[in-house]
A and B are shown apart, each in its own frame.
Chain A
Amino acid sequence: MGAVFAREHERLVRVAYLLTGSSAVAEDLVQDAFVGLHRHWDGVRQPSAYLRVAVVNACRAHHRRNLRERSYFPELVTDTVVAETPVVLDALAELPYRQRAALVLRFYEDRTDSEIAQALGCRPATVRSLVHRGLATLKKVITQ
């Protein structure tokens, strides 16, 4: 497991950061994923795939929770901003979560359709559709 950690940890934190916008949250969620991996070590055949699914799901759960909290604490919208972000990332953050995740896994991680499908729990055709719709929205926002 040490080898998996050394190989995957840093990259997963960066993916989780792209999915949540907060490095602190990203580190926590990735840590959680490793806890889960450790618990299920005997039953996991592809540790890196397991971790990716766990992190993508955890980030999604974080977003759901965050949306709910934002309605109570509107100031939270600003809590994770460390720097001025480019327009394309602002637009990315506004996408539905699955589109955002598909784009991050495709264009940051360079994952194949089937790998992304596995991480999102959907079919490869759906991944193509998510990527296509996500890019279309980004294009619309940027060329506005």
Chain B
Amino acid sequence: MNAKDEAIKSALRTALHDAAGQIDVRSATLMTADELVVHRRVTRRAPMVAAMAACLAVALVVGGWLLVSGGNDPPSVLTPAAGVVGGCAGKAYVTNGSGSVSVIDTATGKVSAPIPVGGSLGGVAFTPDGRHAYVTRSKIADDNSPDGTVSVIDTATGVVSATIDVAAPTGIAITPDGTHAYVTNNDGNQRSGWVSVIDTATGKVSAPIPVGGSPHGGYPSGVAITPDGTHAYVTYFAGTNGDGLAVIDTATGVVSARIDLGKLSVAPGLAFSPDGTHAYVANVVGEPVSPGTVTVVIDTVVSVIDTATGKVSARIDAGRGSRGIYGGGGIGGAAIAVASTPDGTLAYVTSSFSDTVSVIDTATGVVSAHIPVGGFPVFPGSSGAVAFTSDGRHAYVTVGDDNTVAVIDTATGVVSATIPVGEHPTGVAICPAISVAQARRVTVQGPVLVNGYLVVTANGQVRICAGLRATRPPRCTTSALTVRGLVRRDFDDLALRGRPGRTRWRPDPVQILGAVQGDVLRVAENAPA
């Protein structure tokens, strides 16, 4: 026996012990003889029946899994389409002006029965753990409903589980740690307007944080929280003196800075780059057509803000040069919004005057495409909101005039689906993926979308990790989950790097939908024994 033989023996020994150690042997107890015989009678099948059952199981597993794929790219989301109950994983929530929330299955595009909330709905945001959706509900004139609320939907049951009194809510954003919701209030008074902060644990509402008022204008609309959770950016009508964006220090609850977006600026929507270095503000600017009126001629631009300096570093014309006359009554709810892809390479801006979604390359600041989507309304409260799926492959855009959601394939820039929703869709949010660390930390109920890096070790262990160490081959950082239930087909589709028999990995993050139990992420029920 030479050294080579010893190496083979040692490799075989290791592989056998690793493989044998991977299975869960049920903590079986010894049955009595009668029980054993009965057990075998019940479970034994004729070989052919067993074979067919096995076939069926394979078909179910394969059929139940939708690999979300764009073009020839390897799919990065594994989504069991069936047998999923509870939680928001794989769902998009769309708020409708008619008072309901439409729930879209992002894998199939199917819309389930709308969730009735009442009033007229505007903004929507998920808590980071995906268990709740917060929607803003404003009073409609001929409605007996309360003045205004933030309604909390339990995503597992799809019913409103809490109603929080907030006078005139429009936009909403939830802090990355999930502890607070920031709500803009627009009471229709140019000189007032404020932000309410909701403690998500207790439902208590803070004292209002004023953002409007002379000389700063009013009508706060958009709100977004920096990825590090330290600041909330709130947009409002700038008035003739300028400003238009207030920065709230989330630790103290006071406006710590104001950023000038231009005189008479209206900025209904904003979003941060994932690294938090830039804010993209959908912004309409103009000048009074005649002195003494609030009617303005408007250009649609995106103001890029360097968050370190608090200065506008660029203005990108996103409106394809189209202009419109914007009536005074429309201020505060202009039909534009902006969102940034999860990898930060693209920003999407909706423009109500050209009825397009403009695609901005964030590295160059160049508008690379104008995608026609249908009719955006110009009247207030019905904005063309944008949200991306957590893998960045699709953008969901509410098209208020058409009562639809347009789904844009971000790889091709083409509207790949048009989904009918309720009347006058306004906001849209897509269930967030949670990190590996979060999945390990919290008790997760129902299926969740876990974001991380996939590593298959030489002995066949499949893990999803919070990060990769820069070794060759890469190794998992300490926070990881063992993944069970992926089948070989999934691995083929995942196009892993590395050689068979060695560690293999995927250099970019994947999102895997499954149930978390302890340190295990189980992506599907195994075929019945």
Our verdict on whether A and B bind, yes or no, reads yes
Instruction: Identify the A interface with B (CB < 8 A).
Output: 1-2, 5-6, 9-10, 13-15, 17-18, 23-24, 26-28, 31-32, 34-35, 38-39, 65, 68-69, 72-73, 75-76, 78-79, 81-89, 92, 103-104, 107-108, 135, 138-139, 142-143
Contact in complex: A85, B460 (CB < 8 Å): yes
Interface size class of B (residues with CB under 8 A): 35 or more
The listed residue (A5, A38, A142) touching B33 by CB distance below 8 A is A38
Tell me how far the C-beta of B456 lies from the nearest C-beta in chain A, rounded to whole angstroms: 5
Contact in complex: A87, B500 (CB < 8 Å): yes
Instruction: Give B27's nearest chain A residue, CB to CB.
Output: A10
The listed residue (A18, A27, A79, A139) touching B19 by CB distance below 8 A is A18
Residues on B with C-beta less than 8 A from A39 are: 33
Can you name 10 A-B pairs with beta carbons within 8 Å? A18-B16, A35-B37, A65-B47, A73-B51, A86-B11, A86-B501, A87-B500, A103-B12, A138-B8, A142-B501
Instruction: Identify the B interface with A (CB < 8 A).
Output: 4-5, 8-9, 11-13, 15-26, 28, 30, 33, 36-37, 39-40, 43, 47-48, 51-52, 54-55, 57-59, 456, 458-462, 484-489, 491, 500-501, 504, 526-527, 529
Give A135 to B10 CA distance when docked, in angstroms. 11
Please judge, given known A-B contacts A18-B16, A28-B43, A107-B9, whether A78 and B28 are in contact too, CB under 8 Å: no
Tell me how far the C-beta of B46 lies from the nearest C-beta in chain A, rounded to whole angstroms: 10
Instruction: Give B36's nearest chain A residue, CB to CB.
Output: A35
Tell me how far the C-beta of A135 lies from the nearest C-beta in chain B, rounded to whole angstroms: 6
Give A69 to B20 CA distance when docked, in angstroms. 25
Tell me how far the C-beta of A48 lies from the nearest C-beta in chain B, rounded to whole angstroms: 15
Tell me how far the C-beta of B476 lies from the nearest C-beta in chain A, rounded to whole angstroms: 15
Tell me how far the C-beta of A112 lies from the nearest C-beta in chain B, rounded to whole angstroms: 16
Instruction: Give B462's nearest chain A residue, CB to CB.
Output: A83
Give A107 to B21 CA distance when docked, in angstroms. 14
Contact in complex: A27, B25 (CB < 8 Å): yes
Contact in complex: B58, A76 (CB < 8 Å): yes
Instruction: Give A89's nearest chain B residue, CB to CB.
Output: B15
Give A104 to B9 CA distance when docked, in angstroms. 11
Residues on B with C-beta less than 8 A from A139 are: 4-5, 8
Give A76 to B529 CA distance when docked, in angstroms. 14
Residues on A with C-beta less than 8 A from B526 are: 24, 82
